[in-house]
Amino acid sequence: MPRLDIDGEWQRLSPKYLGLEIASVTLFGVIAIGATLTFSLTGWFAQPFGWIAVGVAVAITVVMFFVAPRRVRSYGYQLRADDLLFRRGIMFHRVVSVPYGRMQLIDINRGPVARLLGLAELRFVTAAAATGVTLPGLADADADALRDTLVGLAETRRAGL
């Protein structure tokens, strides 16, 4: 089986997506640290375990702050002649090739915070559930343009043109 050529020019997510990820990590940290601190101060946790739980919550939050920028940079996509190539992952690197003719649904999702930042998430669905691809953190205009391009490419490939 020939090796997939993944050395082309990768398109990146919007830099604003990092802000969304940092906000998510901050919210997680406030909830996790606040909950463990509350439980340890109110006596729900045994004293040594309560402070260990607070320390673990702080450590996880700090690690997540350092990992978030790298995780955002790991996302990328390429529009190639016959397929869309998608990659993500730091430790577990995933590269998915989605042929244009196999795309059945191209969906744009915009959550409230993403809308505030002008971001969208593009989701591609094919007949095989394992090849579902989601591109988070695209600028609104880029998501709309990419959707229109992919719909056009998918229609021509399905028609056999």
Between 15 and 47, whose confidence is greater?
15
Q: What is the pLDDT of residue 45?
A: 65
Report the Cα 139 to chain-centroid distance in Å.
13
Q: Residue 1 pLDDT > 50, yes or no? A: no
Q: Residue 148 pLDDT > 70, yes or no? A: yes
Q: Which positions ≥6 away from 27 have C-beta within 8 Å?
A: none
The region of weakest confidence among 12-16, 38-42, 141-145, 155-159 is 155-159
Q: What is the pLDDT of residue 67?
A: 94
Domain boundary assignment for the chain: 16-72, 76-158
Distance in angstroms (rounded) separating the CA atoms of residues 55 and 11 = 38
Q: What is the pLDDT of residue 74?
A: 93
Q: What is the pLDDT of residue 130?
A: 63
Alpha helices in the chain (DSSP H): 16-41, 47-74, 112-117, 140-158
pLDDT in tens, 81-136: 888 898 999 889 888 888 888 888 888 999 888 899 999 999 888 777 666 688 99
pLDDT in tens, 34-74: 998 888 777 766 677 778 888 999 999 999 999 999 999 99
- The domain 76-158 having CATH identifier 1.10.10: the answer here is no
Q: What is the pLDDT of residue 3?
A: 53
- The torsion angles phi and psi of 97, rounded to 5 degrees, stand at -110, 120
pTM recorded for the entire structure:
0.78
Burial environment of residue 36 by CB neighbours within 10 A (0 to 12, 13 to 18, 19 or more): buried
Between 155 and 7, whose confidence is greater?
155
The count of other CB atoms within 10 Å of the CB of residue 150 is 18
Question: Contact 146/122 with Cβ under 8 angstroms?
Answer: yes
R_g (Cα) of the chain, nearest Å: 20
